[in-house]
Amino acid sequence: MKTQEVIKGLLEKLRSDGREHEVVEFKEAKNQYDFDKIGKYFSALCNEANLKGKRSAWLVFGIKDIDKSIVGSNFRSRRADLDSLKAEIAYHTAGRLSFVEIYEVVFPEGRVVLFEIPAAPKGMPISWKGHYYGRDGEELNALNLEEVERIRSQGQTEDWSAGVVEEAKLDDLSSDAIDMARVSYKRKNQHLALEVDRWDDITFLNKAKICIKGKITRTAILLLGKSEAEHFINPATSKISWILKGSDNVEKDYQHFTCPLLMNTEAVYQKIRNLKYRYIADGTLFPEEVDQYDPYIIREALNNCIAHQDYNLSGKINVVEHEDGKLVFVNSGKFIPASVEEVVIADAPESTYRNPFLVEAMINLNMIDAIGSGIKRMFNIQRTKFFPMPEYEFAGNKVKLTITGKVVDINYARKIASMPSLTLSDIIALDKVAKGKSLGDNEVRELKSKNLIEGRKPNFHISATVAKITGEKADYIKQRGIDDAYYQAMIQEYLKKFGEGKRESFDELLLGKLPDVLSNKQKQHKIKNILQKMKREGKIKLGKNKAWMLAEV
């Protein structure tokens, strides 16, 4: 978030341009301003920023548009009311896009509010209540068709999901799935409910961005097609496989599902045995019982697999349920964002989508709750239950997401529960420490600056501060180990008693006393370093038979 000084400098620059242009809009808005008009400007400024190659656009309240003088604005003077505008805007925009940030700056002349508006993501023009807006100079207008298509065609050679299946007809779609799609669309667009009832099927499918000018698309086949219509998208497949595995990792049951995915995602959900999980800890610390897997997480993860699958790879989506309390989702294709942490912490929509036409249709049918923030919500749900964080793996051109439906380490859960001030990014990083995963340089700096971890890369463990707060002092000592002076004293005592000792003797002496966080190989390397350090300090020396002895002997 930008500082007040940076914002004041930016505002001065915007005012000094002398006039409004396509990516900046000034409004007096002394008291109130029409909500629908804000939404239209949001859509227009998003799209124009994209077309002009700008990262952001700006809507500014409290500035007179003629001479750019500050007149002050009382628009939503309570900060909570101002922040709630983000969700209100997101509800009516494609991709649930909203402001990057809302800034307030107070001058002697009055308060100025600046809305930072992100550029429309590549491949996805932003609509407001189903309509695309743009600007012609200072004028607010509908975005023309050429500009809509220019945005849609960005950053990719072809959107597979938007491809038209010329030989497919309306009869190849499931009437039950279309009826379900209408219900979902009306739930998402309540202001159009009565109008939707008057549309015929083709009109509805066009309006919902599932078909294009009455022609059946691959998206239509995936979401609404009859099961026998899957051949239209060959060699791609619409299959989802549910597999149940026992604690020995052997398959015990399975079932395959195909289109219409709008209906069959619910069938997959029903196959998952979402048992109640009872905590075996103090009732004051945890609720008595919770679902192993939050329903939102299951649906979000499954719909993300559908939305981001690389259908050109001809793979199927796998949902693997493990009886020991894990749920694994696998889809084909690379993970497009830079990192999971970036998606979760930034809590912002991605700028590029693999299947933008499919994504927009799924948003219109209320299948995807919110692009970007849906993943963050999954992390927060696991956090509130003190379950391990969702775990992503990227290998073999696949994305694998593992959801754990139980408390794996009760001591770790207690640590998290007893430190409510931890941010989500802290918990994600500490979760990696608990799982023995590697940390990024930024994560290491952040955790060390807050005194949450100790150790050297890649062997980190919880800090003494965390251990003291959580009462895990013994666990801390086991993880951290004891000062090297203690190990040196043991070596010296051994040599005083037995005169000399070979390396394997010291391995036997010290291996069991070194911190548990180290592997056996790392423990042996540490013993070697301790012996070399004692040699440099003149405390011990190496004899002719490669046996160590005290230096003064």
pLDDT tens digit string along 262-292? 999 999 999 998 887 766 544 445 556 788 9
Q: Contact 14/24 with Cβ under 8 angstroms?
A: yes
Query: 200 φ, ψ to 5°?
Result: -75, 175
pLDDT at 211 > cutoff 70: yes
Confidence at residue 473, expressed as pLDDT on a 0 to 100 scale: 42
Q: Contact 414/281 with Cβ under 8 angstroms?
A: yes
Buried b (16+ CB within 10 A) or exposed e, 98-120: bbbbbbbbeeeeebbbbbbbbbb
pTM, whole model, 2 decimals? 0.58
> Residue 347's pLDDT band (boundaries 50, 70, 90)?
low
Q: What would the pLDDT profile of 376-410 be if each residue is shown by its tens digit?
A: 889 989 888 888 889 999 888 899 999 999 877 66
User: Where exactly are the structural domains of the chain?
Assistant: 4-152, 160-233, 410-480, 484-550
Fold of 484-550: Arc Repressor Mutant, subunit A (1.10.10)
Q: What would the pLDDT profile of 1-36 be if each residue is shown by its tens digit?
A: 567 888 888 888 888 875 557 789 999 999 889 999
Average pLDDT for the chain: 84
Q: Contact 309/317 with Cβ under 8 angstroms?
A: yes
Which CATH number does the domain 4-152 belong to among 3.40.50.1000, 3.90.79.10, 3.30.950.30, 3.30.2010.10? 3.30.950.30
Q: Contact 98/58 with Cβ under 8 angstroms?
A: no
* 136 three-state secondary structure: strand
Long-range contacts of 38-41 (CB under 8 A, 24+ apart): 38/85, 38/89, 39/89, 39/92, 39/93, 39/128, 39/129, 40/128, 40/133, 40/140, 41/133, 41/140
Q: What would the pLDDT profile of 484-540 be if each residue is shown by its tens digit?
A: 777 888 898 889 888 888 888 898 888 877 766 567 888 888 898 899 989 988 899
Query: 256 φ, ψ to 5°?
Result: -105, 145
Q: How far apart are CA 396 and CA 393, in angstroms?
A: 10
Length of the chain: 553
Q: How far apart are CA 383 and CA 416, in angstroms?
A: 9
pLDDT at 375 > cutoff 90: no
Beta bridge pairs of residue 320 = 243, 328
Copy the structure tokens of residue 7.
Answer: 């914002």
pLDDT at 469 > cutoff 50: no
